[in-house]
């Protein structure tokens, strides 16, 4: 089964590769990742190809710390509106729980867990299925660097862990960079990949990233939401799309992502002659049409990714939209593929 990751995971890749004397476009083509596929950070690319690209880049450039450097330059901004949603949780601990619960929205086959230790700290562990055999050390360095930077974004850049762990062997060149970037001891050939977080940090309220929402809006819609004439409809639909699979998609949480009060959001949508309920219905219908008619996803997976409690509720909505049950479409699709 092919697992996918958001193209946003390569945020900063082109700049870093060029800075180190490589041609990022050629490297991407070499592993089968055309640049056009990477323009939208929400596009999904095969996780395997991301791992191959990082390993190839490290070899071609002659830099064993390439993945680490890239991950350390990222953070919550790389997650888009979901990163904004995490940063608006009550505590860093609850933000990480939300992140761990919905890791699949960014990277399928990545599992982030938290476990208490005997010292009173909490250990964050990251497992990536395609990297469990040690095939992609650059990918693991990128991923741990990213999660570590996410915690720093929420806790403040003065924060550092007491220890970081990697299952892969230490690099022949650049080992000191690990300790420098993490500002703490780093252990290699460990049993798992992860790091410690102290109890005090977990209890803090996350820092709000200045301008994050406006930056996302500007990048996606080329205008700021502070413009009184802006139609928020495309942005709200984008936020709905991101939150649907979490099961937490409601007007309050969409407003939270956008840094707005729910009543202000409601007034803005009313001025555009729509409502949150209508946009939710419209977004679900658009996704359902593509997923059921044009993809091979199971109907249960589609229902859950659209935020429905079960397949039966989704089926009723689908029949109302298209005049037939999704199982009929799925049956025809399976018959066609079999034939």
pLDDT in tens, the chain (339 residues): 578 888 889 999 999 999 999 999 999 999 998 877 787 787 788 899 999 999 999 999 999 999 999 999 998 878 877 787 888 889 999 999 988 887 877 788 889 999 999 889 999 999 998 887 788 999 999 999 999 999 999 999 999 999 999 999 999 988 999 999 999 999 999 999 999 999 999 999 998 766 666 566 555 544 434 444 557 787 788 788 878 877 778 898 888 777 778 898 899 899 889 999 999 999 999 888 888 887 667 888 888 888 888 899 999 999 999 999 988 886 555 544 444
Burial class (CB in 10 A: 0-12, 13-18, 19+), 172: exposed
Residues in Cβ contact with 212 at an 8 Å cutoff, skipping those fewer than 6 apart = 76, 77, 83, 84, 87
Q: Cα(234)–Cα(40) distance, rounded to whole angstroms?
A: 15
Alpha helical stretches, state H, the chain? 13-19, 24-30, 47-61, 66-72, 81-87, 92-101, 137-155, 175-182, 199-202, 212-221, 233-243, 251-257, 262-271, 276-294, 299-305, 311-322, 326-338
CA distances, 319 to each of 107, 278, 294 (Å): 31, 17, 17
Q: What's the pLDDT at 82?
A: 78
Q: Cα(309)–Cα(129) distance, rounded to whole angstroms?
A: 27
The architecture (CATH level 2) of 278-338 comes to: Orthogonal Bundle (1.10)
Rama region for 120: left / alpha / beta (φ>0; ψ in -120 to 50; rest):
left
Q: What's the pLDDT at 281?
A: 94
Q: What is the pTM of this model?
A: 0.71
Q: Which residue has the tokens 């820092």?
A: 207
Nearest to 164 by CA among 146, 149, 148, 177: 148
Written as six digits, the tokens of 7 are 């193209």
Beta strand 186-187 with 164-165 is parallel
Q: What's the pLDDT at 205?
A: 94
- Residue 60 CA, chain-centre distance (Å), reads 27
Q: What's the pLDDT at 322?
A: 92
Q: What's the pLDDT at 108?
A: 82
Q: What is the CATH number of domain 4-202?
A: 3.90.1520.10
Give domain limits for the chain: 4-202, 212-274, 278-338
Q: Cα(102)–Cα(118) distance, rounded to whole angstroms?
A: 27
Q: What's the pLDDT at 338?
A: 40
Q: Are 22 and 57 in contact (CB under 8 A)?
A: yes
């Amino acid at each position: 089964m092919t697992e996918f990751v958001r193209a946003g995971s390569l945020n900063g890749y082109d700049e870093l590769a060029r800075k180190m004397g490589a041609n990022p476009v050629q490297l991407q083509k070499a592993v089968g990742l055309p640049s056009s596929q990477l323009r939208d950070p929400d596009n999904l690319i095969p996780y395997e190809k991301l791992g191959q690209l990082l390993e190839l880049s490290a070899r071609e450039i002659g830099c064993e710390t390439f993945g680490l450097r890239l991950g350390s330059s990222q953070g919550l901004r790389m997650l888009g509106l979901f990163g904004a949603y995490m940063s608006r949780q009550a505590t860093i601990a609850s933000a990480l729980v939300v992140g761990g619960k919905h890791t699949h929205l960014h990277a399928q086959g990545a599992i982030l867990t938290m476990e208490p230790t005997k010292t009173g700290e909490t250990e964050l562990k990251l497992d990536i299925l395609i990297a469990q055999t040690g095939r992609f050390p650059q990918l693991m360095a990128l991923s741990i660097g990213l999660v570590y930077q996410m915690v720093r974004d929420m806790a403040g850049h003065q924060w550092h862990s007491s220890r970081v762990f990697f299952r892969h062997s230490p690099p022949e060149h650049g080992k000191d960079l690990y300790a420098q970037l993490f500002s703490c001891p780093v252990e290699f050939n460990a049993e798992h990949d992860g790091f410690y977080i102290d109890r005090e940090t977990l209890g803090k309220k996350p820092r709000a990233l200045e301008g994050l929402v406006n930056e996302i809006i500007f990048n996606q819609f080329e205008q700021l939401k502070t413009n009184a004439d802006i139609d928020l409809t495309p942005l709200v639909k984008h936020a709905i799309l991101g939150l649907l699979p979490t099961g937490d998609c409601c007007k309050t949480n969409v407003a939270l992502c956008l840094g707005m009060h729910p009543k202000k959001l409601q007034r803005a949508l009313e001025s555009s002659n729509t409502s949150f309920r209508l946009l939710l219905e419209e977004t679900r219908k658009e996704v359902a049409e593509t997923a059921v008619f044009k993809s091979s996803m199971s109907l249960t997976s589609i229902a859950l990714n659209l935020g429905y409690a079960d397949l039966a509720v989704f089926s009723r909505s689908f029949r109302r939209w298209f005049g037939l049950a999704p199982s009929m479409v799925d049956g025809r699709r399976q018959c066609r593929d079999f034939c």
